Structure 1
Amino acid sequence: RERNRGIILVRVSGYGQTGPDAGKAGYASVAEAASGLRHMNGFPGGPPPRLALSLGDSLAGMFAAQGALAALYRRSVTGEGQVVDTALTESCLAIQESTIPDYDVGGIVRGPSGTRLEGIAPSNIYQSANGSWVVIAANQDTVFRRLCQAMGRPELATDERFADHLARGRNQDELDKLIGDWAAQREPHDIIATLSEAGVISGPINTVAEVMEDPQLQSRNMIADHWDERVQRNVKGPGVVPVLSETPGTIRNGGSARPGEHNDEVYGRLLGLDAAQLAALREEGVL
């Protein structure tokens, strides 16, 4: 910073660079738990499972990138850089909607709710005739009326048990059973086609194999090839999100296979160091 007042440093750690836990090591699994995120996963009365992903790592990376962009913008105005301090725990906390104000104002400790959100109905998974599950989300009044029409049960929309958002929340179990009975008599593609035509939000619960074949994702280049240096061939992976209208992103490769692999390119071609300077930096242990 003494040499370059505009330098921006992005730091990602378990607990952040300050506070009593700053020196502790951290993994996504612990960050998800310590932030309260893990407590809300699973079914009531059961152990709090983790998602089969390192969600905390991904969230921290996204917030770190957002912080870097904000710091770059500020530098463009003031000329000054800064430190972007991103913690895994805080990244997991940041996505938890109203859990803190719910507790602060009402003393509510939100817990796991299985396959649905308590009081938000109907919005759940329902088993189809072939045993697979579909998601049906019609908790808004207008969408619920369309669902009732599509199910051939228009009278449910004016039934006092389900006539508005609060009533449906109070009678969530009963409503889920009615929709579940309807879905159980139909194939999943029929459920989704019928509801989509009616303007009701619904969809399958896809495996990665089914995601790879999804025509919507394919049409938007979300199943994209990239060069993987470890296996020396093109490998499919997620595309670039979000899609920009004027400068859409592309993927050159899957990243370095080993640390420092692109030192010559970065320090040489991009920063202008010659071969002797690079050799000296290696000798000193800098590279």
Structure 2
Amino acid sequence: MSGPLTGIKVIEIGTLIAAPFAARMMAEFGADVVKIEAPGEGDPIRKWRKLHEGTSLWWYLQSRNKKSISVNLKAAEGVELVKRLAEGADVLIENLKPGALEKLGLGWDVLHALNPKLTMVRISGYGQTGPYKDRPGFGAIGEAMGGIRYTTGEPNGAPARAGVSLGDSLASLHAVMGALMSVLRVKTGQGNGQVVDVSLVESVFNLMESLVPEYDLLGHVRERSGGALPGIAPSNTYPTKDGGYVVIAGNSDPIFKRLMRAIGRGGLADDPALASNDGRVAQVVMLDAIIAEWTSSHTIAYVLGVLKEAGVPAGRIYSVADIVADPHYQARGMLLDAELPGGQAVKMPGIVPTLSETPGEVRWQGPALGEHTSSVLAELGYGEQDIARMRAEGVVQ
């Protein structure tokens, strides 16, 4: 493995989504990730969503390239084992409730004293400080309180959610960014490690564009708008003759002109009142109706063909079946052929982003619980007898 993070050692003490997804991304680009799981069932995500022969397909994706060790953190020797790992690590990523690591004797003060260069990434619902810090928080709550749920859905309907764990995944992305910024500071000699405090709520809030100044200065509360993009026109989802939908983004000035001419409305293309976005926003209802009238008279294939020729951004809404069949996804390496335990072939998502010189790589799918316990402990200097004793005493599995 020669990824850009080769040589970076990461400890993951997390379950389900936010911390594990962050560690997975680092593992895909070469980091040596050791995932610590509780004895027994391990990470609950092993049983989430769709299962294949008793194990979640999501698990195989979420934990690829990671080493799994099963450690009882309620045992004093298990805590000492983690400290020993931390002494040689660059990053520790966790998503436990604030204060949980401190109760185990693995708080920031303890680990920083053992390894001043360690970066601790802490993902929680509301952050490590503030009046809400002790509240339990899941990604769905982050989406609700971060502002995105309020703006998602049809104007007269209930707030809607995306069909994936958006809040958790946004926190993961912020966690990786924070971890890499901290590690870069250490590696370039600018200082020691630090705490990267990632909140699910704030990770969603960070995406909310000009929501706050619009409210503070103008008293404007952005509401749900269905498939439209408020304040940017025309950009919406439009029906087609064959029962499908197409997303059209004709919202830059030159693209708008091309769109209008492509649908036979050259007069609107040359209308000075529609020459800039603010003028189009004022007449967005009229523009959306005109575009929808045109798309409703044609098939998706025809609409996309015309708009491609005109240089107007447009696309139909893909299901997973569309994604898997799409030649562009295939050409970009976004669909990888993998093999599960027992030899079952399966497609998995590719690695994002694409790096030209040091691309990411999948070395193995999510491991069995504790699969790497012996090898990792041996690397830390534990002998065979010590490992056998710890197994017998329930310190490791």
Fold shared, TM-score > 0.5 on shorter chain:
yes
Q: CA deviation at 1:238?
A: 1.6
Q: Secondary structure at the match of 2:278?
A: helix
**CA distance 1:227–1:70, shift in 2 (3 Å):** farther
Pick one of 2, 19, 22 that aligns with 2:133.
Answer: 22
Please point out which of 113, 119, 129 is paired with 1:2: 113
User: In structure 2, what is the equivalent of residue 66 of structure 1?
Assistant: 177
Whether the aligned pair in 2 keeps the contact of 1:127 and 1:133 (CA below 8 Å) is yes
- What are the residue-to-residue correspondences of 1:138-217 with 2, within 5 Å? 138-217=250-329
Question: Cα offset for 1:179?
Answer: 1.0
Q: 1:267 aligns with which of 362, 372, 377?
A: 377
Identify which of 302, 320, 331 aligns with 1:219: 331
Q: Spell out, residue by residue over 1:21-80, the C-alpha distance to the aligned partner (whole angstroms, 9 max, x if none).
A: 111111111111112221111122321121121111111111111111111111112351
Greater shift after overlay, 102-111 or 193-202?
102-111
**Root mean square deviation, CA, Å:** 2.0
Distance in structure 1 (CA, Å) of the matches to 2:142 and 2:368: 27
Matches within 5 A, 1:37-56: 37-56=148-167
Q: CA distance change for structure 1 residues 274 and 193 in 2, over 3 Å: closer, same or farther? A: farther
Give 1:98's aligned residue.
Answer: 210
Q: How far apart, in 2, do the equivalents of 1:228 and 1:66 lie?
A: 30
Normalising by structure 2, report the TM-score. 0.67
**Which amino acid is 2:147 matched to?**
G
> Please, what TM-score do these two structures have when normalized by structure 1?
0.91
2:395 match: 285
Q: Which moved more, 1:35-44 or 1:274-283?
A: 274-283
Distance 2:218 2:193 in 1: 41
2:219 paired residue among 94, 107, 131: 107
| Structure 1 pair 277–107 and aligned structure 2 pair: CA distance change class (3 A) | farther
Offset, 1:170: 0.7
Q: Percent same amino acid at aligned positions?
A: 43
Matched, 1:254 2:365: yes
Q: Per the alignment, in what secondary structure is the counterpart of residue 150 of structure 2?
A: helix
The structure-2 alpha-carbon separation of the partners of 1:61 and 1:133, relative to structure 1 and needing over 3 Å to count, comes to: same
Matching residue's letter, 1:66 = M
Structure 1 stretches of at least 4 aligned residues deviating more than 4 Å after TM superposition: none
- How far residue 251 of structure 1 moved from its aligned partner, in angstroms, is 1.7
2:136 maps to a residue whose letter is: A
Aligned partner (choices 233, 245, 250) of residue 344 of structure 2? 233
Rounded Cα–Cα distance in structure 2 between residues aligned with 1:232 and 1:5: 44
SS in 2 for 1:135: strand
Q: Which amino acid aligns with 2:114?
A: R
SS of the equivalent of 1:2 reads helix
Cα distance in 1 for partners of 2:155, 2:138 equals 25
Deviation at 1:272, TM superposition (A): 4.6
* Consecutive unaligned residues in structure 2, runs of 5 or more: 1-111
